[in-house]
Amino acid sequence: MMPLEVLKHAQDEFLDFNGQGASVIEMSHRSKEYQAVAQQAEQDLRDLLNIPSNYKVLFLQGGGRGQFAAVPLNLLNGSKKADYIVTGAWSKYATKEAKKFGDIRTIEGTETVDGVVKLAPLPEFREDADYVYYCSNETIHGIERFETPKIKSGILINDASSEFLSKPMDVTQFGLVFAGAQKNVAPAGLTIVIVRDDLIGKAAEYCPTIMDYKINADKESMYNTPPTFCWYMAGLVFKWLKQKGGLAVMEQENIAKAAYLYDYLDSTDFYSNNIDPSCRSRMNVPFFLKNEELNDKFLAEAKACGLTTLKGHRDLGGMRASIYNAMPMEGVKALVAFMDKFAAANK
């Protein structure tokens, strides 16, 4: 979901951007007008996250899956060892990709006790590992790691895709953070990478040029034509977040929205969520109907009420409510009201 104010802003200037007589999607990425858009977007993101000057901010393509390969291709440059914490589908996919390029150790990040999934204690990481990798929010399974893993050596990598900009983040805890834009930032097609200066320029010889962080940094994310519309939309979202008061304000809104939905799920036996409260995602709330034969009926009636995209991921089943930044509390309340009415009518 995109903020309505952002969509209206983009609509208002879609045919004529900044008096240029052309849409932003028609402009050259090399034009001074678009360069200003790109530079302002980067500065606003730096402001939101307090990104230090010794970190590069890259606006790239290829999605999270592209970064599953780009990270090891750029950063497996010492021992060629890395430790991957697997807490769900996306960290599992990343691990599988990284194994093509080095000695990758898989660390089970969750455990199930009495049917409830919780974070597992983490072992000592290998001291000679080039980096430790984790995904701070698993969209499919609805698991969020709120505490940053502690490492003694190497660098920490965070796939923050689905919780990016939902709360403040201390970028200096990480060597690299990446996020697909299609959750909290912009339409699909843009991937943001925040990487510390000293980590670039060491890509493997066989790293494709388009994935080399140094090349992209040197070319200011324009080694090839970037996804200009997505970048522009991201810039509008950054401004929207700043106008709302920043990420601390956003975090409080997200805490309240998630609590409202989880409190309802915990109050009924018609629905269930099997994630321990200590690591329940604020962004993605999976839940299951006690009688799964009612799933199709639930989705059809929800859609008739204007509640869409509630079907769970194909790998997990059930339902999933994604309540990203742009979803207002009113939307969460409407969902809970429908769920309560549906439960009463189908017991």
CA–CA distances in Å: residue 169 to residues 6, 133, 147, 152, 221: 23, 16, 11, 20, 23
Say how far apart CA 254 and CA 324 lie, in whole Å. 8
Point out the residues that are catalytic.
Answer: 90, 159, 183
Do residues 175 and 199 touch, judged by C-beta distance below 8 A? Answer: yes
- Give the long-range contacts of residues 168-172, CB within 8 A, separation 24 or more: 168/49, 168/246, 168/247, 168/248, 168/251, 169/49, 169/247, 171/49, 171/50, 171/51, 171/52, 171/55, 172/52
CA–CA distances in Å: residue 38 to residues 42, 57, 64, 107, 263: 6, 11, 21, 38, 41
Query: Max Cα separation, the chain?
Result: 63
Q: What is the DSSP secondary structure assignment for residue 167, as one 8-state letter?
A: S
Residues whose CB falls within 8 Å of the CB of residue 69, separated by 6 or more in sequence, listed in order: 97, 98, 100, 101, 211
Say how far apart CA 273 and CA 262 lie, in whole Å. 8
The dihedral built from the CA positions of residue 86, 91, 97 and 103, taken in this order, carries a sign that is negative
Do residues 246 and 322 touch, judged by C-beta distance below 8 A? Answer: no
The dihedral built from the CA positions of residue 251, 255, 256 and 257, taken in this order, carries a sign that is positive
CA–CA distances in Å: residue 174 to residues 150, 156, 182, 297: 11, 5, 22, 45
- Give the chain's end-to-end CA distance (angstroms, integer): 32
